[in-house]
Amino acid sequence: MDVSDLLTSAGINIAICVVLLSLYSILRKQPGNACVYFTRRLVSEPVRGTGDISCFERFVPSTGWIAKAWQATDEEILAVGGVDAVAFMRIVVFSIRVFIIAAVICLFIVLPVNYYGQDMQHKEIHSESLEVFTIGNVKEDSKWLWVHCLALYLISCSACVLLYSDYKSITKMRLAHITGSPPNPSHFTVLVRGVPWSPDNSYSNSVEQFFSTYYPESYLSHQMVYGSCTVDKLMKDAERMYRMLKSIDPRFLDRSLPYCIPGGAAHPFMVLNLRADSVSSSTSMDRLQSSQRRKECPAAFVFFRTRYAALVAAQVLQSSNPMLWVTELAPEPHDVYWSNLSIPYKQVWLRKITTLIASVVFMFLFLLPVTFVQGLTQLEHLDQLSRRVPFLKGILKQEFIHRVVTGYLPSVILMLFLYAVPPTMMLFSAMEGNISRSQRKRSACIKVLYFTIWNVFFVNVLSGSIIRQLTVFSSFKDAPTQLARAVPTQATFFTTYVLSSGWASLSCEIMQPFPLICNFFRKFILRTKVEPSSCALTFPHHTEIPRLLLFVHIGFTCSIMAPLILPFLLVFFFLAFLVYRNQILNVYVRKYESGGEFWPIVHNSAIFSLLLTQVIALGIFGIKRSPVASGFIIPLILLTLLFNEYCRQRFSPVFKRRPAQILIEMDQQDEQLGRKEEIRNQIRSAYFQNPIISHQVSINSNLPLSRNTSHHQGDEDNLHGLKSLKPFRNSTRSIR
């Protein structure tokens, strides 16, 4: 590939980005698209009019959203998206800072050394092959290889300093989130799984007896986890019916369905009322309670009087059999992934092994599209394709078509195949048995990250055919040398991949095509009123974090070997800074907070990329017969490993466990302020499998919990939610 092919790919992607961003600036001004582009604001703030925007201005592209995203402060991001949003934006800021340093060093020092590394007659710039800008153009035993060694030292040291600063800052924010947030029910709650079955007692009785015996002073109460039951089905049907009636235009109801209006002669909520009244009778109550007992799962949320007591109970081994009475700190109530709590704990390890095998199989199946993509980037494969398909011979000879096929089409095909990866990995993570939504996303994030780095980087670097890939991996000791030979030759593909998958994906992210199509379908085809809460999406960390870390990985490995990629990477990260800030401020809704728990993934990935870059440089200096430069890379590798170990010892434990010192101080502060009873009332209504019941209990219940609360507390609370259906039923009259 030459410079003209690269410029063709850049021109196509720039045109696509300009069109999509201009279209976004128009679509966001239309009142009908507010639930797509301002979902978070509609959910958290009162609905306001469109202002004084004239009809002409609504159809003219503008850059107002860019200014608002740029001017937003970290405090605003923290207030809107929490620590997770700030930590995510730190990935972008870190990338901008480190690659600005790398660009200054490599473009002004390393790039000229690469370009003039051989005694050769250079062509015009637009006709030059991109390989002359890589380290492969430097002749063997050149004294200018010291420039690459020095540049690698400066980039590595800068990256480590920035990583340390960000790790320290995120750790402080995580601790501030624990101490500064209102009393969190998850701090007082332990999730226990693997409750042993007893023929004489229910699971609830077993939990009551165990914790009353071994934690008599600190145990408060518990809430069992249940399978699906009549109460849950009834409440879900009521909620679904309420949303359906609320989404229909009231004028349509008045004109066409007079008997379905709440308050009429025969509307569905009267059936709901009769069902609720019948449930409240003593006979039905006994029947439902016995049904609930039969559907108890061997898992429960156990509440403690203090945070420190919950921390101790979560971290100690409860039984001589590690598979029984397994305890861990409970996730936040909105973060609980209820469907996985009913999974027997003894199956969890088997599920993890199964999903790991499935992920590896899926990873190797993906070799087929990657091999096909690599075939398009190599001229000999195109010649073979032309001979086998004669009618393509004349088409591929056209200069523009040839540039598109070699410079643009491969990365686009690979990007389309990669869109199937995050949903698949999210499915595998759900099958693993993760108990919280944040854990599921974090697990999917790790899987997607491994998958993309393997298939986008390693397989593309070492591919030619599947047979060659298998032979490459059979000689592991020669991996540094083989990577050193392959990375400079594949740098042109990574440059075009940054253009297509990077720039274009950000444009698609801000456009939100799928929610936009769904909004159009519901409004103009189904003629239903779209509720903002039904369109609310949480931030897709499992897709966006691996995407950013992949480009960080490509940037580090190609920085001194193919510096021409750095300007395109900087454009990507600057655009990502604006796009993601806009999405956090306007689109994505925060439903739970993990306190930046995914940041160690970011740190470890960056360290891995640095180490791989240094290993590849070691192989290149060996190929170029520069033993002194190779010798100076070895201390850099050791220093990087020592830095990573220090950060692991200094910061990583804070992201795995909560500090006892801070929790004890918070307990003492609550006791001094007299907030114990208030906190217990909050805990009582926090963990309910049905959100409607939880809402009603939190409103109507003012009774403090005591340790002698009935162990069938979950049954009584669910029935109490049924009795509260009357205000819920009457609220549907507001539809009219």
pLDDT higher than 90, residue 652: yes
**Stretch 665-686: mean pLDDT:** 86
Residue 707, C-beta contacts closer than 8 angstroms, at least 6 positions apart: 212, 219, 220, 221
What are the domain boundaries of the chain? 3-178+349-656, 185-331+659-734
pLDDT higher than 70, residue 655: yes
pLDDT tens digits, one per residue of 551-588: 999 999 999 988 999 999 999 999 999 999 999 999 99
Residue 683, C-beta contacts closer than 8 angstroms, at least 6 positions apart: 185, 188, 189, 220, 221, 303, 705
**Stretch 371-393: mean pLDDT:** 53
Task: Point out the least confidently predicted range of 125-129, 281-285, 399-403.
Answer: 281-285
Could you give the CA distance from residue 717 to residue 723 in angstroms, rounded to a whole number? 10
pLDDT tens digits, one per residue of 695-717: 444 434 333 333 333 333 333 33
Could you give the CA distance from residue 707 to residue 212 in angstroms, rounded to a whole number? 8
Report pLDDT for 720: 35
What are the distances in angstroms from CA 510 to CA 16, 572, 609?
Answer: 13, 14, 28
**Stretch 635-641: mean pLDDT:** 96
- Is there a contact between 610 and 556 (Cβ–Cβ < 8 Å)? yes
Report pLDDT for 198: 87
- Is there a contact between 621 and 152 (Cβ–Cβ < 8 Å)? no
pLDDT tens digits, one per residue of 585-637: 999 999 888 889 999 999 999 999 999 999 999 988 888 888 888 889 999 99
- Percent of the chain scoring above 90 in pLDDT: 40
Report pLDDT for 725: 32
pLDDT tens digits, one per residue of 494-522: 888 888 788 888 988 999 888 888 888 88
- Is there a contact between 247 and 239 (Cβ–Cβ < 8 Å)? no
Report pLDDT for 32: 84
Of 385 and 374, the one with more pLDDT: 374
Q: Which of 586, 585, 588 is nearest to 543 (CA)?
A: 588
- Is there a contact between 524 and 30 (Cβ–Cβ < 8 Å)? no
Task: Point out the least confidently predicted range of 193-202, 269-278, 471-480, 500-509.
Answer: 269-278
Of 82 and 381, the one with more pLDDT: 82
The per-residue pLDDT of the chain, averaged, comes to: 78
Inter-axis angle of helices 409-418 and 399-407, nearest 10 = 40
Task: Point out the least confidently predicted range of 71-85, 340-354, 361-375.
Answer: 361-375
Q: Report which listed range, 110-119, 461-470, 694-703, is most confident.
A: 110-119
pLDDT higher than 60, residue 540: yes
Report pLDDT for 175: 93
Of 257 and 395, the one with more pLDDT: 395
Confidence label for 149 from pLDDT (cuts 50, 70 and 90): very high
pLDDT higher than 90, residue 193: yes
- Is there a contact between 444 and 433 (Cβ–Cβ < 8 Å)? no
CA 491 centroid distance within chain: 28
Of 277 and 5, the one with more pLDDT: 5
Report pLDDT for 257: 41
Confidence label for 450 from pLDDT (cuts 50, 70 and 90): very high
Q: Is the pTM of this model over 0.95?
A: no
pLDDT tens digits, one per residue of 311-345: 999 999 999 999 999 999 999 998 999 889 989 89
∠385-389-394 over CA atoms, to 5°?
90
Of 529 and 402, the one with more pLDDT: 529
Q: Cα-Cα-Cα-Cα dihedral of 147, 152, 154, 157, to 10°?
A: -160
Q: Report which listed range, 356-365, 448-457, 545-554, 724-733, is most confident.
A: 545-554
Report pLDDT for 390: 54
Task: Point out the least confidently predicted range of 358-372, 423-437, 627-641.
Answer: 358-372
- In DSSP notation, 303-365 reads EESSHHHHHHHHHS--SSSTTSSEEEEPPPGGGB-HHHHTS-GGGHHHHHHHHHHHHHHHHHH
Tell me which amino acid residue 138 is.
Answer: V
pLDDT higher than 90, residue 426: yes
What are the distances in angstroms from CA 12 to CA 20, 63, 415, 644?
Answer: 12, 21, 16, 41
Report pLDDT for 293: 47
pLDDT higher than 70, residue 472: no
Report pLDDT for 583: 94
Confidence label for 549 from pLDDT (cuts 50, 70 and 90): very high
Confidence label for 5 from pLDDT (cuts 50, 70 and 90): confident
Name residue, tokens 């021409």. 564
Report pLDDT for 213: 94
Confidence label for 262 from pLDDT (cuts 50, 70 and 90): very low
Share in percent of the chain as helix, strand, coil (round to 5): 75, 5, 25
Q: Extract the tokens encoding 460.
A: 């593309």
Q: Report which listed range, 261-275, 472-486, 655-669, 714-728, is most confident.
A: 655-669
Confidence label for 248 from pLDDT (cuts 50, 70 and 90): low
Report pLDDT for 436: 92
Residue 84, C-beta contacts closer than 8 angstroms, at least 6 positions apart: 539, 541, 590, 593, 594, 595, 596, 598
Report pLDDT for 373: 63
Of 726 and 178, the one with more pLDDT: 178
Of 38 and 728, the one with more pLDDT: 38
